[in-house]
Amino acid sequence: MLKFLFLGAALVAGTMFLPSESRGSEWGCQVLLCLSGDWQGTPSCHPPIYKLIAAMDNLGFHWPTCPQANSSSARYEPYEDCPAGWTAFAPATSEHGGRSEQSMCRVPDSNVQQIRNGQMWNSNGSLRPGGHNDSGMRTATIQIEDKTVQARVRTASNGGHGFDTTTYYEIARPRRAKPYYIEYDDANGARQRSWFSLK
């Protein structure tokens, strides 16, 4: 990180000596440099970031990029990754049957053996049962890494005829404290990703 901060400062300083049409990237490099660190706690970062926040309300806004670092526009991913072995999915909405954000993680019971270390098991090798939550849905107590959580147990049709169904364990995906990210090339040319919040 320190190496990139020095590189970013050099890039920003270097743009001051470029023709006016090339200095358009100066703001983008300032934005990248500030969002790669603690911009809220860095007073010199407040002007370029407040300028960014104000500009985002303008029609036709384009995210300022830093060509010298090959930076991307900001992207938004509000949820953390699912635990290993789990798949993100979007639950169907109740009104129109459409899809919402991929706000849940699930794993089919047929794959439980593959993530045995991530589950809470009884001494006889079966998944420890939970019970029912307030809505009457079946639940199971599971352990993922060092956290014990309640998972919903849902049986869904596979779209075939008869009793072709799969039972899933489902958990909510936690939300990121920093839901936006920018990708850029560091001083060694390696692609990096920096997460940030504008609040």
- Kindly write down the DSSP assignment for every residue of 142-160, as one continuous string: EEETTEEEEEEEEEEE-SS
Query: For the chain, what are the domain ranges?
Result: 2-77+177-196, 94-170
pTM for the whole structure: 0.66
Q: How far apart are CA 176 and CA 132, in angstroms?
A: 28
- pLDDT band, very low/low/confident/very high, at 6 (cuts 50, 70, 90): very low
SS3 184: strand
Task: Please tell me the distance from the alpha carbon of residue 176 to that of residue 186, in angstroms, as a whole number.
Answer: 24
Written as one letter, the residue type at 33 is L
| DSSP single-letter state for residue 125 | S
Cβ within 8 Å of residue 134, ≥6 positions away: none
Q: Is the pLDDT higher at 162 or at 169? A: 169
β-pairing, 87-89 vs 191-196, is unpaired
Instruction: Please tell me the predicted confidence (pLDDT) of residue 43.
Output: 96
Residue 54 reports pLDDT greater than 90:
yes
Euclidean distance between CA atoms 85 and 160, whole angstroms:
25
Would you say 100 and 91 are in contact if contact means Cβ atoms under 8 Å apart? Answer: yes
Count CA within 13 A, CB hemisphere, residue 98.
4
Rounded mean pLDDT of the chain? Answer: 76
**Interacting residues of 92 by C-beta distance below 8 A, sequence separation 6+:** 98, 99, 100
Q: Is the dihedral of CA 60, 66, 67, 71 positive or negative?
A: negative
Mean pLDDT of 24-38: 91
Choice among 31-45, 147-161, 170-184 with the minimum mean pLDDT: 147-161
Higher pLDDT, 23 or 166: 166
Q: Are 22 and 1 in contact (CB under 8 A)?
A: no
pLDDT band at 19 (very low <50, low <70, confident <90, very high): very low
**Triad 20, 35, 186: Cα angle to 5°:** 80
Dump pLDDT digits (tens) for 109-137.
766 544 444 444 443 444 555 555 544 46
Residue whose pair of structure tokens reads 């290993």 in the numeric block = 84
